[in-house]
Structure 1
Amino acid sequence: MARENKYLFPRKLLVILWLISLSSIPIGITPSMGQVTFRPPKAQAPKKSIGGASRDASTCGADMSATIQASVTPLLPKTNIGLTVAERPTIFVYVPQTNAKTALFALQDERGKQSYQRILHLSKKPGVIEIKLPSSVSALKIGQNYQWSLVMICTEELEPDSPWVSGWIRRVESHRNFNNQPTVQLASKLANMGIWYDSLATLAELKRTQPNNPTITTSWQELLRSVDLSALAEVPLTN
């Protein structure tokens, strides 16, 4: 009996230590849950659309040595179109350091009918700006394409060679009830479904509220790298 107890105690100890180690792991968390990788849908930008960007920001007197990337760049997949389930999605654009103080943002439907237009005030520092469509804008219609554009105002008025970018949005119907509370898990689900604008917006909101959270920072970088925007993965949000 003494010999049996001699070997039984270490076994019990191993079991206890194993249970303690499990208790330190958050329930329901797996290593892959924080990963945010975009899975491209089959959606393509309309064939009649023009290119997504113009000449670089040196047209506005940018300090090229101080910028990570010279061109105004839409945060979009290579297809230049992104899906959304939101009635009024948020658009993200990288703006390099430039002398331009303002830019013109416009939104129109596929037929060219303008839905929204406003002047944006730009930060003096390079970074990613986010453009939120206000409640006064009519909700995007499900299944329809919309084109947005951002034109840098280098002088007092628009010029033919002003730097600009454009991109497309298609609103799709959501067949899932997503939790409105932004989480990395929500961003991951949206990215996996190919819902670009909403996945990016979810992570952007998390970055604003938790700027020092390494998981959120890594998730933002992973999402941008998954669509070949590695050069902008560590660029800050400027508004």
Structure 2
Amino acid sequence: MLAIQPPFHVMRSVCSFGLILTSLLTAVVQSSARATSDPLNQEQVVFVAPQPPLDQGAPSGRRQGGASRGPCRNYETLTALTPVTSDGKVWGLTTLDRPTFWFHIPNTLTDDVPVEFVLQDSEDNYVYRTRASALETQSGIISVSLDASERTLEVGKTYHWTFSIYCDAAHPSASVFVRGSVQRIAPSSELEQQLSTATPLQQASVYAANGIWYEALTLLATLKQHNPGDSRTSTAWTELLEQADLGAIAPAPIVSCCTFDQIPSSN
């Protein structure tokens, strides 16, 4: 029995349709891949850790307070909301001359429990030094912003910060502290272009995708404060903290803290 072959023009049409279908599927896959990698096309915040600093002599820092005695035991889980690099450094990037720093306070602060924030350059000169006594600040996440009258961070330089809680009135020098570094970089023209057309939530995603921790965190914290019921912001906030192994802190409220007073320095 002879097999009946379809006419040549039918076979050519089938082949053409197959090529068109393959091209369409390829275009869809490529478009989907671009959308996944482009922070402007997604609400998910993906933090891409930047290359750690090359200076091997830079201090490693301390992200959590650590074991303490006496009244300071109530604050030993004091935590800085900062990522830790692959080689163990508490370090993050900013593009701002006056970034905001964030900390989790595990217990109530009172007038008897002053806190101090210090920012120093690579030669240990004070850039900013401030102390505050809180009338009463509930446990939660607080922020520390640099005063507008102070020196600004310079592009390309790394600064070291320390946040301390003086938690034992009987021993004024006793404290629980966290310590780390921040490096200021200049934003690229591509980054500036992405930010110029992005919503605040998208901006946080853009910063995270470029490894710029401080702006990503501060944007999400600000959005949470202004619209605490927004599920997209809450999800993005949790995702960002989880990627820095800070997920346990994500449910903590953002609370108002203290009025900081500058401490005059001699250098």
Would you say same fold, with TM above 0.5? yes
Give the direction of change, closer, same or farther, for the CA distance of 1:118–1:181 in structure 2 (3 Å limit). farther
2:47 equivalent in structure 1: 38
Give the direction of change, closer, same or farther, for the CA distance of 1:49–1:61 in structure 2 (3 Å limit). closer
Write 1 or 2 for the structure with the bigger share of helix: 2
Identical counterparts, % of pairs: 29
Q: Is structure 2 residue 176 aligned with structure 1 residue 163?
A: yes
TM-score under structure 2 length normalisation: 0.69
- The aligned runs of 1:1-239 (5 Å cut-off) are 33-44=42-53, 46=55, 47-52=57-62, 53-56=64-67, 59-61=70-72, 70-79=76-85, 80-98=90-108, 101-122=113-134, 123-156=136-169, 158-159=172-173, 161-175=174-188, 176-177=191-192, 178-179=195-196, 183-239=200-256
Give the direction of change, closer, same or farther, for the CA distance of 1:206–1:114 in structure 2 (3 Å limit). same
Whole-angstrom distance in 2 between the partners of 1:158 and 1:50 = 26
TM-score under structure 1 length normalisation: 0.77
Whole-angstrom distance in 2 between the partners of 1:42 and 1:31 = 23
- Number of positions where the alignment pairs a residue of Structure 1 with one of Structure 2: 205
Q: Is the 8 A contact 1:73 1:93 kept in 2?
A: yes
Q: Tell me the C-alpha RMSD between the 2 structures.
A: 2.7
Q: Is the 8 A contact 1:182 1:205 kept in 2?
A: no
How far 1:158 moved relative to its partner?
3.9
Q: Which amino acid aligns with 1:186?
A: Q
Secondary structure of the structure 2 residue equivalent to 1:82: strand
Structure possessing the higher radius of gyration over alpha carbons: 2
Q: Is the 8 A contact 1:182 1:206 kept in 2?
A: no
How far 1:59 moved relative to its partner?
4.4
Give the direction of change, closer, same or farther, for the CA distance of 1:137–1:98 in structure 2 (3 Å limit). same
